[in-house]
Chains A and B, each alone.
Chain A
Amino acid sequence: MSGLGRVVRAGVRRRRLTTVAVGLAVLMAVTAAVLGASLLVASAAPFDRAFAGQHGAHLTAQFDAAKLSPAQAAGTARVAGVTAAAGPFPVVLATPPDAAPLTLVGRAGPGGAVDDVALTDGRWPAGPGEIVLGADAPYTRTGGVLRFPGLPGSPAFTVVGHARSVSRTADSWVTPAALTAPTGYQMLYRFVDAGTDTRVDAARGRIAAAVPAGALTGARSWLVVRQDADRNTGIFVPFLTAFGLLALVMAVLIIGTVVTGAIGANIRRIGVLKALGCTPVQVTRAYAGQALIPATAGAGLGVVAGNALAVPVLAETNSVYGTASSGVAPGTDLLVVAGVLAVVAVAAIASAWRAGHLRTVQALAVGQRPVSRHGRAAAWIAARVPGPPQVGLGLSRPFARPARAVGLIAAVAFGAATVTFALGLAATTADVAAAKNHDLGAVLVRGGLQFLPRGQQPGTPPSPKPITGTPAQIGAAIAAQPGTRSYYARGETSVAVAGMSGTSDLYTFGGDASDAGYQMVTGRWFHGAGEAVAVSTFLRETGTRVGGTVTLQAQGRTVAVRIVGEVFDPHTDPEVLVDAATFPELTPDSYYVTPRPGTNTAAYLAGLRAAVTPYGMQVLTPEGTRSGTLLALNFLTGLLTVMLVVIAGLGVLNNVVLDTRDRTRDIGVCKALGMTPRRTTAMVLTSVLPAGLAGGLLGVPTGVALYARTAPAMGHAAGLDLPGQAVNVLHRPELAALVVAGPLIALLGAALPAGWAARTRTATALRTE
C-alpha cells in the first residue's frame, strides 16, 4: 500500500495541470457555496433572525414626560411577564429642515438587554453635539451636520455613524444629555410570551395600569413591525434564495464534471496500475486520495475567498432586508467545506470505481481506443464538414469525447441559465421597487403634517399646522413657479366600504395625475368621477373584481364607484384610488410636482418654498434616486451574476484545459503534419463551439422557465399580483443575444488553452505519452 501512496503523491505532483484544475474547481465551488449558503441563511426568516440577534423589543412604549417621572417609567420593568427591559430613554420628535420629522431617542450606548442596536458604520455619539442616523435614512452622510430648528436652542448635530434597530425604536439616536426637554420617555420590553397579539396586548395593559392614567401615550407591538418588515422583504426573499440555490448547484456541478473528467483522463494509468497488480479498491482509494489533496487546498482558499466576497454581499443583503447580522457563520463555513469535500470524494470514488472496474485490457487500450459509435460520428463529421480541416477536426471533437462535451455543455448551460434568470429577476425586482417608489421622483409639497414617518411612535401626534390656502391657490402657486412641468394633488382619508370590515385608505387625485406613476396589473386608470382603481388587497378584502362596483362611505357621503383597474402597489394595505371629482369636498394635502428636466433643483425648491409656505405648506426634497433598496438590489444582482458567470467561464476553462491536455499528442501530430499555430488555435476554439451553442440553446430556455416560475412566486410571497410589465421582461432579441452568449462563454474559456496548444513545442508534445 505504501507503494500506492507513492503513486498518489507522484500523481499529484506530476499531473500538475489536473491537480491545479481540481484545486481551482474546488476553490470556485467553495467560494460559490459559502456565498450561496450565506444568502440562504440570510434569507431564511430574515426579520426573526435579526430580531433574535438584537434581542428585539416585543413592545416599544412611550410615556408622556409631563405625566410621569423617569423613575416611574423605569418601574414598569417590574410588571409581571416582563423578562427584560431597557430605558427610560428621553424622546422627542424633531424635524430637520425640508424633511419629514424624526424620532430622536437619547441613549448612552447601542447595546443593552433589549434592542441591541447595530452600528452599520461610524460610532455611537459620545457628546451632546453628535448623532447616529438610522441606516436607511437618506438624509446625511457621516460627517454631515443636521439641524433641528424646532428643538430648544435649535441644536446642530454632527452625524458620527449610522445604525439599524430591527425593532425600529427610533429614527436617530443622540446622547440622553442632548435631549434637554424630552416630550416623552421610551421603554423597551421583552416578555415571557409575546407570540400573539392577545399576549402582547395583555402585557401592554399591565404596563398601562402600572403608571398614572394617560401616561402611556403609545405602544407598538413587535408583531406589527414584523408584519411590516415581512411585507417589505417578502418579495426579495425568493430572489436571493434563488441565487443562493444557483450558487450551490453550480458548486456541485463544477466539482462533478472536473473531478470525473480528471479521473477519466487517467484511465490508461489506472490500466497500468491494475496490470501491475493493483485491486480496483486500491485504485479507487488512490484516485480519491489524488483528488482530495488538491481539493482540500482549494477548499481552504475557497473559504477565505467566499468570506471575503460575503462581506459586501451580506452588507447589501442586510440593507435589503433591513437586518443587521454580521459575516458568515463559522458553522456555514464548516458545513460547506465538509459538503464540498464529500462531493469531491463521491465523484472521485464513483469515477475511479468505474475506471477500476473496467477490464484492464480496455483501460490500457484507451490510448488507441477501439472504435465506438461516437468515434464513428466524430470521423464522419471530421470528414464531411466543409471548409479547412481544422474546422472539421474541431467540430468532431465533442463527439469523440461525449462525456467531456456533456460537462462543457452543462457549464455553459448553467452560465446562460443564470444570466437569463438573473436578468429577468433583476428587471422584475427593479420594476417592483420602482412601483413601490413610484412617487419618490417628485417634489412633495405637503400640508398638515398628519402623517407619521416610519419608526415613529404612534400616540405622539406632531402638532398639525393647518393648511391655510385653498387647493386652487396652492395649485396656482405651484403652476406659476418657473420650472414646474406638471403636478397633481392628492387627498387622503379613511373610507368605509360596504361589505368590508374595517376601513380602507382612499386617495383622490386631481390635476395632471395621468397614472401618478402607478403600474396597472389589469384594466386601466380611472377617467373622471364614478370610476376607481384599487390595489389587490382591496379587491380581495371587498370580494370585488375589476369591472365590479363598490360603495364607498367617506366625508359623510356614500358614493358608488366602478372599479376599472387594478394598480400595483407593494404596500399591501387596502387602498382605493379615485378622481378628485368623486370626492370634491376632500381637501388635498399633498402636491406631487415634477420639475422640468434641467431645472436647477436648489433654486427651484427655494422658489417653491417661498411660494407655498404662506399657505401652511412644506416642501420636501425628492428622495427618488436615493432608494437604498433598489441600489442594493442592483448591486447584488450585478455582483452575483458576474460571480456565477465567472465561475461558469472557469468551469469551461477547466474542462477545455483537461481536454487539451488529453489531446496534446494529437495536436502535436497535427502540427507535425503541417498545421500552423493559427489553425491549431482555431481547431481548439471550434471544438468548444458545438457545446457552447448547445449550452446556450439549453440554458436560456431553462433560465426563462426558472424565471417564469420564480417571478410570480416572488409576487405571491409578498401577497402581490405582479403587473404584466413586471413579469414579461425577457424579450426575444435579448434571449437570442443570450443564446449567443453560450458560445461566447465557451470561446472565452477555451482561449487560454487554445493559445497553449498553439505554442507548445511540437517535439515536446509528441513526447507526451
Chain B
Amino acid sequence: MRIFFTGVGGQGTLLATRFVGEAALEEGLAVLMSEIHGMAQRGGVVESSVVIGNGLSPTIADGEADIVVAFEPLEAARALPKCNPKSIVITGITPILPFTVTIGQSAYPDRDSLFGMIRPLVSKLLEVDADGIAKSSDAQRSSNVVMIGVLAGTGLLPISRGSWERALKKLLPENLIDQNLRAFESGFKAGFETA
C-alpha cells in the first residue's frame, strides 16, 4: 500500500503523515515513511509518503500511488502523475493561493474544473471540507487530522480504530489531544459515510 501526501508548507502535512506511519506501526505493520524538508517549508509544496508492506522502497514512483491525500486542491492536481486509474484521491477543498497567483503572474484554476479534471482519471475522488469539519468540531487548527480521519474512515488501510487513537496520543502533547481526537472522529465519520 502506497500513500502519497501533498500540501503546502504550514498545513501540517508532515505531522499528518507521521500520524499514519505511527498508526501503522501500532498495528504491527511494516512501514516506511519518507519526507522532504528544507526549502519546501517556506510556503512551497511539501510532499511525503507512507508505504506499508515488506521490502518496499520508501518513495513512490510515478503512477504507483494507491492513495493520494492532498491538503490543497491545486496540489491534488499536481500529484496526478503519481496516480493511475485505480488510485483514490482524497483532497481538501480550500485553496491556498500560490505566490505566483497573488502577484498576478498566473491564475488559480477554477476549483470545480480542477476536480473535474482529476475525477475521470482516477477511480475515486473524495472532496473533503476539512476546514469546515474542523471548525464544526471545535478544532479549528486540526484540518490536517480531519483529513487523516477521513482516510481512516474509508477503511482503505488495515489499521484498527484503537491503533489510530494510540498513535494520535503518542504524537501530540497532552493539551492538544482532545481537540485532535474530535477532529479525527469527525473526519472518520465523513470518510466512513463515503465508503
Are A and B associated in one complex?
Answer: no
